[in-house]
Amino acid sequence: MINIGIIGTGAISRIHIDSYKKFPKLCSIIAICDTIEERAIEICKEKEINAQIYTDVNLMLKDENIDAVSICLPPSLHSKFSILALNAKKHVLCEKPMATSIEECDMMIEAAKLNDKKLSIVSQNRYKNEINKIKKIIDSNKLGKIHFANFNSLWWRSDIYYHLKYRGTWETDNGGCTMNHSIHYIDLMLMLFGKPKSVRAYFNNLNHKNSECEDFSIAIFEYEDKVITFNSSLVSHGEKQSIIIDGEEAEITIPWQVDASKTLANGFPQENKEKEKEINDFYHSIEDLEYTEHDAQIFHFLKATEEIEYNDYINDTEGKDTVEVVMGLYKAAQEESKVTFPINKEDPFYKKETMISKMTRFNEKKIFLESLPTIEISLGRNFSK
């Protein structure tokens, strides 16, 4: 039985708590911490948890009964509190984005190694049935060589979203829609295709006056043998998320669709119904996952904390890779240049202070509220809708 502490009791902590509560034989939530005590008290009532309440993380981490913590704090606090928790010999499940710089990610990975504790970064979209199925299709080679993919990570937030004090500055929020929203899909791009060789990019702030950062970006990622285009936005009604993958043999799309062409004598396409049926049948033959999204991530995290050898989905280096790819994208957009990976330690985009000093501030953030009137959030439109 793993004893859990929750650090930060805002919107996402509710999803963590709901998921932990689905595994009562594996874990129990025994501590809750938020600098705003009423929030911690409120969440215990709301979720019917009998936990010790703390307002100071350091004090909470002294409790030797806590085995693992969820870090549900603003991004700029992820590395500091993950490292404190790891040094206090707790396993850590940290929300995305892993940290505000590649350097901080390296420090977190180092702390996990030194303390021999598990460090997992939330990437719940990896555990969606559709993603699991298209990964199996890609791995089966049924698409042939893949030439091109396109990711659309399109979201909608009004300017009020940025009234919260830590959102919308390079210092505290790490960036705009690319780092905080599309990072989910950059993580999927890496999961499906690995790390790109290079990136070219453009970014802008189209409609969020209370944010210094971008609310729109376009990137072109080059791989050895394929090209991926990636659109991120925070101005898109309907929040449509899609992935299109074009192989030699067929195209698959999420939301799910398959199209295949064979050639006519003049080189124009003709529908290849047999190929479409083969891939469609394969897709539908793949069993659904036992657990999905945060439930799945938390299940695997709990298993990993109990079994030293269990490292499935303990994705600290993948968490770092997503941050590195976003930093490369920001550098390419800022410098209007092609950026190659990896980003090494001498690069200004490796460290937070030097990266921030280079970034365009699209607007001056003027509104800094302690909280917004409602805590309700949505996690993006589902592929199946």
Ligand X SMILES: NC(=O)c1ccc[n+]([C@@H]2O[C@H](COP(=O)([O-])OP(=O)(O)OC[C@H]3O[C@@H](n4cnc5c(N)ncnc54)[C@H](O)[C@@H]3O)[C@@H](O)[C@H]2O)c1
Binding of ligand X at residue 174 (CB under 6 A)?
no
Give the residue ranges of DSSP H helices in 141-265: 170-173, 177-180, 183-193
Binding of ligand X at residue 19 (CB under 6 A)?
no
Query: CB–CB of 179/97 below 8 Å?
Result: yes
Q: Which helix (H) or strand (E) holds 63?
A: none
Nearer to ligand X, 16 or 275 (CB): 16
DSSP string covering 2-43, please? Answer: EEEEEE--SHHHHHHHHHHHT-TTTEEEEEEE-SSHHHHHHH
Q: Which residue type is seen at 297? A: Q
Binding of ligand X at residue 247 (CB under 6 A)?
no
Binding of ligand X at residue 36 (CB under 6 A)?
yes
Binding of ligand X at residue 121 (CB under 6 A)?
no
Render the burial of 24-50: b for 16+ CB within 10 Å, e for the rest. eebbbbbbbbbeeeebbeebbeebebe
Binding of ligand X at residue 35 (CB under 6 A)?
yes
Options 35-43, 98-106, 136-144, 352-360: segment touching ligand X (CB under 6 A): 35-43
Nearer to ligand X, 142 or 184 (CB): 184
Nearer to ligand X, 69 or 245 (CB): 69
Our CA angle for 101, 107, 112, nearest 5°, is: 130
Query: CB–CB of 243/253 below 8 Å?
Result: yes
Question: Smallest gap, in angstroms, from Cβ of residue 181 to ligand X?
Answer: 9
Options 27-35, 242-250, 258-266, 318-326: segment touching ligand X (CB under 6 A): 27-35
Question: Smallest gap, in angstroms, from Cβ of residue 146 to ligand X?
Answer: 27
The 349-378 contact track toward ligand X, x by CB under 6 A, reads ----------------------------x-
Nearer to ligand X, 99 or 339 (CB): 99
Options 68-76, 324-332, 343-351, 352-360: segment touching ligand X (CB under 6 A): 68-76
* CB atoms near residue 334 (< 10 Å): 17
Binding of ligand X at residue 206 (CB under 6 A)?
no
Q: Which residue type is seen at 238? A: G
Nearest partner of 94 among 108, 106, 104, 82, judged by Cα:
82
Strand partners, 340: 198
Decide the pairing of beta strands 68-71 and 91-94.
parallel
Rounded Cα distance between 305 and 31, Å, is 17
Question: Smallest gap, in angstroms, from Cβ of residue 51 to ligand X?
Answer: 14
Question: Smallest gap, in angstroms, from Cβ of residue 96 to ligand X?
Answer: 5
Binding of ligand X at residue 34 (CB under 6 A)?
yes
Nearer to ligand X, 22 or 262 (CB): 22
**Given the rule CB under 6 A, which residues bind ligand X?**
7-13, 33-36, 39, 57, 72-75, 77, 95-96, 122, 124, 180, 377, 379
